[in-house]
Amino acid sequence: MTAVTWEAGAPGVLRLPSGRLVRGRGLRDPLPAGALPTYGVYLLGAEPPPVDWESTWLRWPDFRLPADRARARTVLAEAWRRCARERVELACAGGRGRTGTGLACLAVLDGVPADVAVAYVREHYRREAVETPWQKRYVRRFSAT
């Protein structure tokens, strides 16, 4: 199977240290021009509207943490695996707090030390990523195992 991933440098695309590409975005913003995701993970307090690609809803209220942390680990690990060969996006309403937290967890899964994963995402995705102290703590406690 040929990899069908994002174009490096496209809006919202984060390059992980391994070279995997994943897109973060805010659902309140218009869908970026260009290729569509092949898989989306939507980090929202309420079920998202349907999309034309495979997706997973992870119940995650705004400014909070995932409602089910074990499921969050499973969903984020699946997103990390898939972004090696597919166009995976993580999105919440604004594309900052929950999306940044999820991207930082993917960075940990990709080998970034948990204590610097938030800084990595802020440098390479959005400087406003990961909004609350408890989101930062969640990433620091997230491990690759």
pLDDT of residue 1: 52
How far apart CA 110 and CA 22 sit, in angstroms, is: 12
pLDDT of residue 143: 87
Which domain CATH number covers 100?
3.90.190.10
Structural domain harbouring 135 = 13-141
pLDDT of residue 80: 98
Decide if pLDDT at 145 tops 70.
no
Write the CB contacts of 92 (distance below 8 Å, at least 6 apart in sequence): 26, 27, 42, 43, 44, 60, 62, 98, 99, 102
- Bridge pairing between strands 88-92 and 39-44: parallel
Give the up-direction half-sphere exposure of residue 108: CA atoms within 13 A in the CB hemisphere: 23
Q: What is the pTM of this model?
A: 0.96
pLDDT of residue 3: 73
In Å, how far are 43, 122, 145 from 68, measured between CA atoms? Answer: 12, 25, 18
Instruction: Evaluate whether residue 44 is within a structural domain.
Output: yes
Instruction: Evaluate whether residue 41 is within a structural domain.
Output: yes
Instruction: Evaluate whether residue 8 is within a structural domain.
Output: no
Write out pLDDT tens, residues 68-124.
Answer: 999 999 999 999 999 999 999 999 999 999 999 999 999 999 999 999 999 999 999
Instruction: Evaluate whether residue 39 is within a structural domain.
Output: yes
